[in-house]
Amino acid sequence: MSKTDIDAVLRIEKAIYAFPWTLGNFNDCLVAGYRCHVLVGDDKLIGYGVQMLILDEVHLLNLTVALDFQKKGMGKALLNFLIDDALEHQANKMILEVRRTNLAAIFLYESFGFDQIGLRKNYYPAHLGREDAIVMEMVL
């Protein structure tokens, strides 16, 4: 991902999430040197992933696929790529948070071998207050 991708990334982010990341969030990730990748299909940006590498651990911060490309294996392909990227940087585990209600994402992560290791109460903003996050981990 580069600064030239941000407009397309933001269009997807705003179309998918009720509480999307901001331009500042993505810019901060790029400036901080986080592992920011895009998925391209049909000559356009259709997904992206952001992960933070700390020593031997990678924290998956955002994995998103455009609505028109969901349920077509793109999320799996992107997650495979992000896992390979983490392994190339000598990470030995990946952690993430996912909304408790995001069953499709939870199913995807479980299919890759992620296990639930915790719960962060009131982690995400929601229309009626806050929503819990399930913390998941996979040993790489």
**Active-site annotation holder among 97, 123, 131, 137:** 97
Which tokens sit at 84? 């390979």
- Catalytic residue at 109? yes
Structural contact between residues 133 and 120, judged by C-beta atoms closer than 8 angstroms: yes
Q: What's the rounded Cα separation, in Å, for the pair 137 and 97? A: 9
Is 134:102 a contact under the CB 8 Å cutoff? no
* List 34, 48, 109, 124, catalytic entry: 109
Question: Do strands 35-41 and 115-126 pair parallel, antiparallel, or not at all (unpaired)?
Answer: unpaired
Name the residues annotated as catalytic.
Answer: 97, 109
